Amino acid sequence: MDFNVKTGDPDKLRSACVVVGVSAPRRLSPAAERLDKASRGQLRELLKQGDIDTECGKTTLIHNPKGHIETARILLVGCGKDKKLSPKAFAEISSAAAKALQSSGATEALSYLTELVVKDRDLAWKAQRTVEASRDAVYRFDELKSEAKPPKHPLRKLGIVVSDRDAVNEAKEGIRRGIAVANGVDLARVLGNRPGNLCTPSDLADQAMALKKAYPAALNVQILEEEDMAKLGMGALLSVSRGSRQPAKLIVLQYNGSATNKNPVVLVGKGVTFDSGGISIKPGAAMDEMKFDMCGAASVFGTVSAVAELALPVNLVGIVPATENLPDGDASKPGDIVTSMSGQTIEVLNTDAEGRLILCDALTYADKFDPDVVVDIATLTGACVIALGHHATGLLSNDQALADELLAAGRTSGDRAWQLPLWDEYDEQLVSNFADMANIGGRSAGTITAACFLARFSKNYHWAHLDIAGVAWKSGKDKGATGRPVPLLMQFLTERARDKG
Ligand code: BES
Ligand code: MN
Ligand code: ZN
């Protein structure tokens, strides 16, 4: 889908559809006002008749408007009653507009929605959100359908109209960022949506090589094999892959965008390409959704790729421990004790708490990059879905400044996180009678004890953990990967590139 920036009046520019806002009770946006005049009052007339819903996110399509209007359709989008929109309302409005356009018959359109006033947000932000919302609306995963049924009139081109020449560059910058984030989100969604038989650890390694091919100058990729991991002493990671016929891979992506020798941001993504639970096998219901257990890894790929596309001036390392978790005669068993790369021993009381076992070795490995900060991203605990539902990523950190940065990036991008405490009291739940620690901490506070486990391997640097179990994919009729938290991570890195150079 293409995006461009335009200036001009809504009645004069030629297009298949013009998109404008209307608020309650009967307030027309400036562009809607002009269209009303040009159509000799058609919009006000319809409003008066009650034919236009002004509720936030409700859309009304008008065909062949009256008067001297160059466009074939007008899409009116309800903006609610507030004069200044909340960022969330703007995102809702853009998304509703994109969905309505997708089923309108118009394959190209002009949007005047960036003229809406949004609290604490500038034009670049509005342009970026418009792009992200539109790309989200047109996303489809049909690579595995033998007969893909594409929409009859897909939205191919969206013009974002701004008030004057001075605003053009700002909108263009927003579009550039929006496209990169949307590409990153799409990559994360595609990888997440692929089934476990087609997205194995080796497939993820191939994906990394493909990224290297796309950005040969900026990216370096290294794939560590099981024997390399054995040499490094990664007994925890390797214990998870024992039950699988697919070899585990430790994928390392390095992006150097900062001229200086600045310490990198390291992203570590959980890449369990299928989580059956292992010997502590999961119940059958919805087990297919455990193909999404590599969405942390997918978000690292998406973010690295978007950062490379934008040529952001940051140094970034992505580390992806990739493995399956399956039962087998040779699989780890409850009670087995393994030695991690850090030297700490772990009693595996539940083989379904495998994410932390692969992450702990990856976190120890991260130390070798002398990181500025480390952020891990993982579909780690069902408990996080119970605590925060499907709206917020769980955030836990050993450094409040880093936590605050990530929380702020979540608010700005609309891809929000919520912090949970990482207190010593919780850490005590990890006691083991036989090893340095157990891999589970009992029924209560499951998200926190999982993070406490990871914290034991992240003492040497500023670290944050993002539990994306509730946000990485949707269940039910819209089942599919969301690409979260790529928008949050991109906002975080964009701001770091700006502030810290
Ligand atoms: N991948 C799961 C977490 C998960 C479960 C995410 C359901 C989203 C939906 C993880 O490996 C897991 O199985 N965690 C266990 C931990 C428990 C054994 C301490 C869980 O959450 O039940
Ligand atoms: Mn599990
Ligand atoms: Zn898992």
Q: Is 353 in the pocket of ligand 1 (CB under 6 A)?
A: yes
- Are the C-beta atoms of 201 and 247 separated by less than 8 Å? yes
| Ligand 1 atom closest to the CA of 446, numbered from 1 | 19
pLDDT for 394 equals 99
Measured in Å, residue 426 CA sits from the centre of ligand 1 at 18
pLDDT for 5 equals 98
Could you tell which of 240, 291, 349, 352 is best to mutate to test the pocket of ligand 1, judged by most ligand atoms within 8 Å of the CB?
Answer: 352
- Are the C-beta atoms of 466 and 378 separated by less than 8 Å? yes
| Ligand 1 atom closest to the CA of 383, numbered from 1 | 21
DSSP lists the bridge partners of residue 59 as 77
pLDDT for 500 equals 67
- The amino acid at residue 236 is A
Pairing of β 18-23 and β 73-78:
parallel
Round to whole Å and give the CA distance between 227 and 233: 10
Round to whole Å and give the CA distance between 240 and 458: 20
Measured CA distances, 415 to 30, 204, 448 (Å): 30, 25, 21
Regions of the chain where pLDDT drops below 50: none
- DSSP assignment of 209-269 equals HHHHHHSTTTEEEEEE-HHHHHHHT-HHHHHHHTT-SSPPEEEEEEEE--SS-PPPEEEEE
Smallest CA separation from ligand 1 atom 17, residue: 353
Residue 9: Cβ within 10 Å count: 14
- Residue 167: in which H helix or E strand, if any? helix 165-193
Round to whole Å and give the CA distance between 73 and 15: 8
Measured in Å, residue 377 CA sits from the centre of ligand 2 at 15
Closest ligand to C-alpha of residue 381 is: 1
Give residues with Cβ within 8 angstroms of 72, minimum separation 6: 15, 16, 17, 63, 64, 106
Round to whole Å and give the CA distance between 7 and 457: 54
- The burial of 123, by beta-carbon neighbours within 10 Å (0-12 exposed, 13-18 middle, 19 or more buried), is given as buried
Would you give the DSSP letter of residue 393?
E
- Are the C-beta atoms of 250 and 365 separated by less than 8 Å? yes
Question: Which stretches of 262-399 are DSSP H helices?
Answer: 295-310, 355-366, 382-388
Closest ligand to C-alpha of residue 472 is: 1
Round to whole Å and give the CA distance between 314 and 226: 30
- Are the C-beta atoms of 414 and 133 separated by less than 8 Å? no
Q: Which of 86, 90, 92 is nearest to 119 (CA)?
A: 86
Residue 455: Cβ within 10 Å count: 19
Residue 55: Cβ within 10 Å count: 11
Residue 117: Cβ within 10 Å count: 12
- The burial of 14, by beta-carbon neighbours within 10 Å (0-12 exposed, 13-18 middle, 19 or more buried), is given as exposed
Pairing of β 73-78 and β 59-63:
antiparallel
Q: Which of 86, 85, 60, 82 is nearest to 73 (CA)?
A: 60
pLDDT for 363 equals 99
pLDDT for 198 equals 98
- DSSP assignment of 37-59 equals HHTTSHHHHHHHHT-S--STT-E
Q: Is 382 in the pocket of ligand 1 (CB under 6 A)?
A: yes
- The burial of 76, by beta-carbon neighbours within 10 Å (0-12 exposed, 13-18 middle, 19 or more buried), is given as buried
Residue 30: Cβ within 10 Å count: 14
Q: Is 474 in the pocket of ligand 1 (CB under 6 A)?
A: no
Measured in Å, residue 89 CA sits from the centre of ligand 2 at 36
- Residue 496: in which H helix or E strand, if any? helix 486-500
Round to whole Å and give the CA distance between 6 and 152: 26
- Are the C-beta atoms of 114 and 85 separated by less than 8 Å? no
Give residues with Cβ within 8 angstroms of 498, minimum separation 6: none
pLDDT for 243 equals 98
Measured in Å, residue 349 CA sits from the centre of ligand 2 at 12
